[in-house]
Amino acid sequence: MELGLERVRVVAERMGLMQPSFCTISVAGTNGKGSTVAMLEAILDAAGYRVGTYTSPHMISYNERVRIGMQPASDARLCDAFERVERTRGDTPLTYFEFGTMAALQLFREEGLDVAVLEVGLGGRLDAVNVLDADVAMVTSVGIDHTRWLGDDRERIGREKAGIFRGGRPAICVDPDPPASILQSANAVGAQLLQVGRDFSVEAQAGSWCWRSPQRVRASLPHPVMRGAHQLRNAAGALMALEALAARLPVTQADIRSGLLAAVLPGRFQTLPGLPVRVLDVAHNPQAASVLAETLKQQPVTGRTDAVIGMLQDKPVAEVMAAMAGVVDRWYLATLAAERGATAAQLHAALEATGSVAPAARYDDVPSAYRAACAAACERDRVVVFGSFYTVSDIISLEK
C-alpha cells in the first residue's frame, strides 16, 4: 500500500479519464460504504439509468468489484481494461488498487454510463478514487480503523475521509455524531455540507420509514432488505445524494421502493437459509462490531449465540471482541489463512484480555471452526461468523 494521487493522476490524464462524461458519486466511510453503494446502484438501476459501480474488497471473484447494470464485469472486459492501463502507464508504477481503479474507470468510459458510484478503498484524501472530482461526495461514518495510515483519532480520520469533498458541490455526512474535522474540511474547500439530523432526517415507523429534507418528504418507504437499524441511516444518505442530483438523475418514489427492496450485499448481516440460524457479517472494527451486537440483540433467539471469529492481527482484536462479548455465549477462534492473519492463539489471548468467561475453542482455520460450531448447535441456537472479509468469504465459498 502506498497512498497518494501523484502516480494515478499521471496515468488517468494519459488515459483521458479525468473528465468523465457520466455523473460520479464517491462514498467514503469507516463502515456502511458498501451498503450505501448497493442502495444507490439498485435505485438508479430501477430508474432505468446505466449504472457502474466500483467497490472493494471482493468476496470470491475480482469481477465483483466492477459492476455494470448490476452485473459483474466479464473477465474479457476487465482484461482488456487492464491491458490498456498497462500500455499507457509507461514507467509510472501503480499499486494493486490504483491499477484496478484505472481499469474500472476505463471500462466505465467504454460503457457509456449515466452514473458511476465509486467506493473509496481507504481514507479518502489520498485514495485513488479521489483522482476524480465527484459530483456528490459522501462520508457514511467515521470510526477508528486503519490507524497506521489515517491517524489514531476520529478528528484525523474524519479529515482524511472528508478529503473527497469538492468546492461548490454537495458533501453528505451520514455519521450522526461527526468529528469537527468534517465541517472544517467542508468549509475549507467551500463544499455544500448536508448533515444527517440537520439538513435531512430519517424517522422509523411501524413497518416503514420516512425521509425528510427542507425540499422534500418521502414517506411510507419500505425498510431496506439489508437488516439492521443502521441501514436506515445509510439509506437516508443515499436518498440525500439522489436528491442532490435530482436535476440530472431524477428518480421516483417507486424507483426508491424497488431499489431498497433489491439492494443486497454479501456479508452484511447475511442470513443463510435453514436452521440453526447462521449470520455472516464482515464486521472487523469496534464500531461495526457494536452495530452487529445491537442488531443481534434486536433479533434474539431462544438458544445460544455462538461466534466463529477470524481476524487480521493488525486490527483491534480485543476491542472488537469486547463489543460482541455481551451477545456471545461460546467462541470458536480460527486462525485466518491470509497475509497478516491472526492465529487462534492470538485471538484467545485477546479474548482473555477482555475478561470474558465464555468458553472458547481454537481451530486451525475458519471452515473447521464453522463446522464445529454448526455441529454443536441445535435448531434454537445461532451461529455468527464475523471478523474479516476473508473470514466471511471462506464460509460463502463453503456454502456455495
Amino acid 89: pLDDT: 95
Do residues 63 and 146 share a domain? Answer: yes
The residue type of 32 is G
Same domain, 237 and 280: no
Phi, psi dihedral angles at 71 (to 5 degrees)? -120, 140
Whether residue 11 lies inside any domain: the answer is yes
Please report which confidence band the pLDDT of residue 123 belongs to, taking 50, 70 and 90 as the band edges.
confident
229-233, 254-258, 261-265, 344-348: the lowest-pLDDT one: 229-233
Q: Are residues 297 and 217 in the same domain?
A: no
pLDDT tens digits, residue range 210-243? 999 988 999 999 999 988 878 999 999 999 999 9
Please indicate, yes or no, whether residues 81 and 215 belong to a single structural domain of this protein: yes
**CATH of residue 121:** 3.40.1190.10
At 397, the pLDDT band (50, 70, 90 cuts) reads: very high
Whether 225 contacts 262, CB under 8 Å: yes
Grid cell digits, residue 138: 459522501
Calculate the alpha carbon distances from 58 to 172, 310, 390 in Å: 25, 17, 9
Domain at 385, CATH number: 3.90.190.20
- Structural domain of residue 239, as residue ranges? 6-262
Closest C-alpha among 161, 94, 89 to residue 127: 161
Determine the Cα angle at 142 with ends 137 and 148, to 5°.
105
1 in a domain, yes or no? no
Residues 365 and 390 in one domain: yes
Total number of domains constituting the chain = 2
Q: Are 277 and 47 in contact (CB under 8 A)?
A: no
**Is pLDDT of 194 > 70?**
yes
319 near 311, Cβ under 8 Å? no
At 38 the pLDDT is: 97
275 and 248, same structural domain? no
User: Same domain for 93 and 26?
Assistant: yes
378 band by pLDDT with thresholds 50, 70 and 90: very high
Of 228, 262, 296, the position where a domain reaches its end is: 262
Let me know whether 250 and 327 are in one domain: no
Q: How does 268-289 read in b/e, with b if 16+ C-beta sit within 10 Å?
A: bbbeeeeebbbbbbbbbbbbbb
What is the DSSP annotation of 293-351?
HHHHHHS--SS-EEEEE--BTTS-HHHHHHHHGGG-SEEEEE---STTBPPHHHHHHHH
Same domain for 206 and 98: yes
In this structure, the answer to whether residues 277 and 382 fall within a common structural domain is yes
Predicted confidence (pLDDT) per residue in 54-105, tens digit: 999 999 999 999 999 999 999 999 999 999 999 999 999 999 999 999 999 9
| Domain final residue, candidates 236, 262, 288 | 262
